[in-house]
A and B are shown apart, each in its own frame.
Chain A
Amino acid sequence: MKPFELVNASSLSSALGALGQAKGAVAKAGGVDLLDLMKEGISAPPRLINLRTIAGLDKIAAASGEQGAVLGPLATLAQLAESKALAGVPAYAALAEAAAAAATPQIRNMATLAGNLCQRPRCWYFRDADYHCLRKGGNKCFAHSGDNAFHAIFENDKCAVVHPSAAAVALSALGAKLELQRAGKDGKVATRELAMADFFVAPSKDVQRENVLAAGELISAVKLPAPQAGQRSAYIKQKQKQSFDWPLGEVAVSLTVTAGKIAAASVVLGSVAPIPWRAKKAEAALVGKAADEALIKAAAEAALAGADPLDDNGYKVPLVKALVRRALTQALVSK
Chain B
Amino acid sequence: MSSGPPIRRRPTGPVRPGQQPQVNVIGRSIRRFDGKGKVTGETPFGGDLAGPEAYTALVIRSPHPHCEIEDVELAAARAIPGVVAIFTGDDIGGTNRHGLIRRDQEVFSRRARFMGDCLGLIVAATPKIAQRALEAVKVSYKELPIVATMDDALAEGSYPLHETGNVLSTELIRRGDADSALAESDVVVNTETRTQCVDHAFLDREAGMAYMEDGVVTIYASGQWIHEERRLVALALGLPQERVRIIQPATGGAFGGREDISIQIYLGLAALKLDHPVRIEYTREESMIARHKRHPIRIEYTLGATREGVLTAAKVRILSDEGAYASTGPAVLRKAVSHCTGPYRVPNIHADGVAVFTNNNPTGAMRGFGACQLAIAYESAIVELSRVLKIDVVELKRINLLDDGEGVTTDQKIPVVGVRDCMEAALRRIGWDKRSYETPAPHLRRGYGVSTICFGVGYGDGFPDASRARVRMADDGVVEVFTGGVDFGQGLHSLAAQIAAKELGVDPLAVRVVASDTHRTPESGSSSATRQTVFTGNAVRLAASEVAGQLLDVAAAYTGLHWDDLELRGNAIAAKHDIAGHEDRTVVLPLRQAVRLGRERGYALDVESCFKPRTVAKQKGTGKSPRAFITYMFASHVAEVLVDIETGEVKVARIVAAHDVGKAINPQQVEGQIEGGVVQGLGMALMEEVVSEGGFMKNASFTDYIIPTIVDTPTIEALVIERDDPEGPYGARGVGEPGLIGTPPAILGAIADAIGTQVHETPANAERVWKAIKRSERAGDGASA
Interface residues of A (CB under 8 A from B): 3, 36, 122, 124, 128, 130, 146-147, 149, 238, 240-246, 248, 315, 318-319, 322-323, 325
Contact = CB atoms under 8 A, between A and B. Distances in A.
Nearest to B707: A241
A319 B770 contact: yes
Contact of B706 (A3, A36, A240, A318): A240
Contact of B712 (A128, A149, A242): A242
Given A124-B704, A238-B647, 8 more contacts: A124-B698, A147-B693, A240-B706, A241-B686, A241-B708, A244-B706, A248-B766, A322-B443
When A and B form their complex, which 5 residue pairs have the shortest distance between CB atoms, in order from nearest?
A242-B711, A322-B646, A315-B767, A243-B711, A243-B709
Contacts of A244: 702, 706, 709
B709 A147 contact: no
A241 B766 contact: no
B706 A322 contact: no
A298 to B, nearest CB: 16
A243 B706 CA distance: 10
B647 A243 contact: no
Contacts of B765: 240
- Which one of A36, A240, A243, A248 has the greatest number of beta carbons of chain B within 10 Å? A240
Contacts of A124: 698-699, 704
A147 B646 contact: no
A241 B689 CA distance: 13
Contacts of A238: 647, 649, 766
17 contacts: A36-B703, A124-B698, A124-B699, A124-B704, A128-B698, A240-B687, A241-B686, A241-B687, A241-B709, A242-B711, A244-B709, A315-B771, A319-B648, A319-B770, A322-B644, A322-B646, A325-B646
B691 interface: yes
A134 B696 CA distance: 19
B128 to A, nearest CB: 8
Contact of B703 (A122, A242, A322): A122
A216 to B, nearest CB: 29
Contacts, number: 59
Interface of B: 128, 443, 644, 646-649, 686-687, 691, 693, 696, 698-699, 702-704, 706, 708-709, 711-712, 765-767, 770-771
A147 B704 CA distance: 13
A146 B693 contact: yes
Contacts of A245: 706
Given A124-B698, A243-B709, A244-B709, A319 B647 contact: yes
A69 B765 CA distance: 39
A322 B711 contact: no
Contacts of B687: 240-241
Contacts of B767: 149, 248, 315, 319
A318 to B, nearest CB: 7
Contacts of B708: 241
Nearest to A322: B646
Contacts of B704: 124
A297 to B, nearest CB: 11
B766 A243 contact: no
Contacts of B647: 238, 318-319, 322-323
A122 B703 CA distance: 9
- Which one of A241, A318, A319, A325 has the greatest number of beta carbons of chain B within 10 Å? A241
Given A147-B698, A240-B765, A318 B709 contact: no
A20 to B, nearest CB: 30
B437 to A, nearest CB: 21
- Which one of B696, B767, B770 has the greatest number of beta carbons of chain A within 10 Å? B767
- Which one of B644, B647, B686, B771 has the greatest number of beta carbons of chain A within 10 Å? B647
Given A124-B699, A146-B693, A315-B771, A243 B712 contact: yes
B448 to A, nearest CB: 21
B716 to A, nearest CB: 16
Nearest to B441: A326
Contact of A319 (B698, B706, B712, B766): B766
Contacts of A147: 691, 693, 698
A227 B182 CA distance: 71
A159 B766 CA distance: 25
